[in-house]
Amino acid sequence: MRMFTFKMNSKQIFGLILLLTGIVVVLITFLTNHPAKPASKSEGIRCSTTQERVDYINSFDLKTDSKEESKEIIIPEQFNDVYNKYNEIQKQQNFDLTDYKGKTAVMYTYNITNYKDNDNVIANLIVYDGMLIGADLCDTSADNGFLVALNDKT
């Protein structure tokens, strides 16, 4: 049986403690210093109740009459040009419908009552398993129609 021993003086012990402290500081710095990620499904926005959905819309300084319409939608398995453009609007808000291809979600629609003297504006929220996965703001009139991200300030 072999036994290893070593002898250290106080300067060596201090140096070892200093080295170990430095390693711990570097590890903590690298493990905790990472850029913020965009909202994802796991960090998503809960919208399972009418109040949560209305609160989300209100967070953009938009007011609604709180009357909601809902319908089940199926996110297409394959995106065409129109859906790719729609998904680009979603990506501007840190949503991405790509992960939900082929899934059934619920679209909630609310009338917006304070959008630039325009009575035709609605907000759509797309919810899957109680989590918000998409949103848009649109004008349903034939003359001035538009479709933008809910957080669009133009």
What ranges do the domains of the chain cover?
50-148
How far, in Å, CA of 68 to CA of 125, rounded? 10
Radius of gyration of the chain from its Cα atoms, rounded to whole angstroms = 26
CB neighbours of 56 closer than 8 A, spacing ≥ 6?
45, 47, 125, 132, 135
Sign of the four-CA dihedral 130, 58, 151, 119: positive
Region for 46 from its dihedrals, namely left if φ exceeds 0, alpha if ψ lies in -120 to 50, beta otherwise: beta
**pLDDT of the chain along its 154 residues, tens only?**
777 777 878 888 887 787 778 887 777 877 776 544 444 444 689 999 999 999 999 999 999 987 899 999 999 999 999 999 999 999 999 999 999 999 999 999 999 999 887 888 999 999 999 999 999 999 988 677 899 998 886 6
Sequence-distant (≥ 6) Cβ neighbours of residue 99 within 8 angstroms? 41
Confidence (pLDDT) at 143:
77
Residue 42's pLDDT is 42
- Can you tell me the distance from the alpha carbon of 40 to that of 113, in angstroms, rounded to the nearest whole number? 29
pTM of the entire predicted model = 0.70
